[in-house]
């Protein structure tokens, strides 16, 4: 488990992180979401021990990470700017990682390379951008570390590849309790992969929650009432936790917090002509949640 306690980091006059508290549970895919400059990369660099915080502490399995090689052996960081040695092939990189990460699984790595159609003897500099990203994820997964920190690694990958990676993550989570931490500014792409998401904005985490929990506790309801006088105020007074309400013609669209059955039961008492629960996208969940907290999510992420 990674615990982030009151982390602050400044770069000259710029405050990158202004006192962050969060925790990342083991064996879950954590999505770190935020706009460019929100502090995602800074946080990942702090988590991987590349840079030192100005204040606060980061504990990885209750141990400090900075200049702690034992902890760093359990963390692999994939930067948004990928780096491979000059003229190196995947084979060379495997040899390099084998020396550094004791649990590196060469066989697994070669199997993945073959599965992804990457030639282990070809020079990496001749790979496309997407292939390089695939290679970095393969190396990261093969390193056998407990934590895999990915900075914008999946941005630009096609949905098939994202699904493949998700299943690989799921496999690793089940087999050895891998905890991937994925930073991105793209909510749509994160939705396929993450179990838990934290929204970072202006150096602080606005909220951090389990995506399934969010999906289970927040619903989009579309309905048409016979009685035109039914308003959201009436429904609220009746105990419905309405986060958002829109009315287009006679169709009401509510975003309501609470259990699905409970919401349907309550709405049914108003004898709607039509009612339907529609699944919420991660984007909609974020819109709802952030608007509740007074932020305009569209300005932040989308």
Partner 1 sequence: MTSKHSFFKLLTEDFRRRLWAFALIIIGFLIAFPLWSFFVTDNIVKYQYRDNVSRYTESQMYIDFAHYYGANNPDFAIGLAAITIFAAATGLLWLYSPKKTDFFHSLPVRREERFSAIFINGLLQITVPYLLCAVLSALIWQGKLGATGLLGLSVILFLKNMCRVILIYGLIGLVIVLTGNAFAGIVMAFIICFEGLLLFWGIASMIELHLYTMEIFSPLYNDYIMKTTPLFAGFAMTYHIYVTGIPVTTLVGMLIIGLISGFVSLLLYRIRPSEKSGKSIVFDAAKHIIYILVTFTIAIDAACFVTALNSDYSAAWEIIMLIVGFVLAHIGVRLFMELDIRSVLKIGIPTIISGSLTLLTLLMFKADPLGLNTYIPDKEDIESMGVYEYMLNQDVSPMLSSYAINAVGSSRAWSLRSDYEPYYLLKNLRLTDIEAPYAIAEEGVRNAAKYPVKPFQYNHYAESDDMLDMISVSYHLKNGRDISRVYYLDREKISDKLSGIYDNPEYKRGMYTVYDIDKEKLSGATICTYAGYFGSASPKIKLSDETIKELYEAYTKEFEELTDEERHRESPVAEIQFMQKALEDFLKEESSIKEQHYMDSFYIYPEMEMYDWYPIYPSFKETIALAEKNGIDIMGAYETEGITKVEISKDYLLENGENEYWQEETAELMLEKMSEEDKKSFMDSLTMCTLDYIAVSFGSLADSESDYIVQIHREGSDREYSFHQSYAFKEGKVPDYVARYFGEKQSDFGKNNTSGYLSEKH
153 binds partner 1 (CB under 8 A): no
Specify burial of residue 202 (Cβ count, 10 A radius: 0-12, 13-18, 19+).
middle
What are the tokens at 293? 């907290």
Member of 23, 63, 100, 163 binding partner 1 (CB under 8 A): 100
Helix axes 106-115, 90-100, angle to 10 degrees: 150
Total binding residues toward partner 1, as defined by CB under 8 A: 26
Calpha distance 206→191 (Å, rounded): 18
Task: Give the interface segment with partner 1, choosing from 77-85, 120-128, 236-244, 247-255 (CB under 8 A).
Answer: 77-85
Task: Give the interface segment with partner 1, choosing from 29-37, 73-81, 117-125, 276-284 (CB under 8 A).
Answer: 73-81
Cβ 84 to partner 1, closest distance in Å?
A: 9
> Nearest Cα to 276, choosing from 212, 227, 220?
220
DSSP 302: -
Cβ distance to partner 1 smaller for residue 77 or 254? 77
Member of 99, 126, 128, 229 binding partner 1 (CB under 8 A): 99
Task: Give the interface segment with partner 1, choosing from 69-77, 201-209, 221-229, 246-254 (CB under 8 A).
Answer: 69-77
- β-bridge partners, 231: none
Member of 27, 50, 168, 242 binding partner 1 (CB under 8 A): 50
Across 99-240, where does the E strand assignment appear?
147-151, 179-184, 196-201, 204-210, 218-225
Cβ 10 to partner 1, closest distance in Å?
A: 10
Region for 62 from its dihedrals, namely left if φ exceeds 0, alpha if ψ lies in -120 to 50, beta otherwise: left
Member of 81, 175, 227, 228 binding partner 1 (CB under 8 A): 81
| CB contact set of 30 (below 8 Å; sequence gap of 6+) | 24, 179, 180, 181, 182, 194, 195, 196, 197, 198
Cβ distance to partner 1 smaller for residue 51 or 224? 51
> Nearest Cα to 208, choosing from 25, 16, 10?
25
40 binds partner 1 (CB under 8 A): no
102 binds partner 1 (CB under 8 A): yes
262 binds partner 1 (CB under 8 A): no
83 binds partner 1 (CB under 8 A): yes
Which residues are near partner 1 by CB under 8 A? Answer: 11, 45, 48-52, 67, 69-70, 72-73, 75-77, 79, 81, 83, 85-87, 96, 99-102
């Amino acid at each position: 488990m990674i615990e982030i306690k009151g982390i602050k980091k400044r770069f000259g006059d710029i405050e990158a992180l202004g006192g962050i508290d969060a925790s990342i549970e083991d064996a879950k895919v954590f999505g770190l979401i935020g706009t460019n400059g929100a502090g995602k990369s800074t946080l990942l660099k702090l988590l991987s021990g590349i840079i030192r915080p100005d204040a606060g502490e980061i504990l990885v399995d209750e141990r400090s990470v900075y200049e702690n090689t034992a902890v760093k052996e359990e963390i692999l960081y994939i930067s948004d700017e990928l780096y491979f040695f000059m003229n190196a092939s995947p084979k060379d990189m495997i040899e390099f990682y084998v020396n550094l990460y004791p649990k590196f699984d060469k066989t697994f790595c070669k199997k993945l390379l073959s599965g992804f159609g990457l030639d282990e003897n070809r020079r990496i500099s001749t790979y496309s951008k997407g292939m390089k990203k695939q290679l970095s994820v393969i190396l990261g997964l093969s390193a056998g570390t407990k934590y895999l920190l990915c900075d914008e690694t999946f941005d630009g990958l096609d949905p098939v590849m994202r699904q493949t990676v998700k299943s690989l993550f799921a496999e690793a989570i089940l087999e050895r309790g891998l905890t991937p931490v994925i930073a991105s500014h793209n909510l749509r792409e994160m939705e396929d992969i993450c179990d838990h998401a934290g929204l970072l904005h202006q150096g602080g985490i606005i909220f951090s929650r389990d995506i399934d929990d969010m999906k289970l506790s927040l619903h989009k309801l579309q309905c048409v009432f016979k009685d035109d006088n039914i308003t959201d105020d009436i429904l609220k007074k009746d105990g419905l936790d309405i986060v958002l309400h829109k009315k287009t013609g006679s169709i009401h669209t509510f975003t309501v917090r609470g259990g699905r059955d409970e919401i349907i039961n309550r709405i049914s008492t108003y004898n709607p002509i039509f009612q339907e629960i529609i699944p919420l996208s991660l984007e909609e969940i974020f819109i709802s949640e952030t608007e509740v907290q007074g932020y305009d999510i569209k300005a932040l992420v989308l």
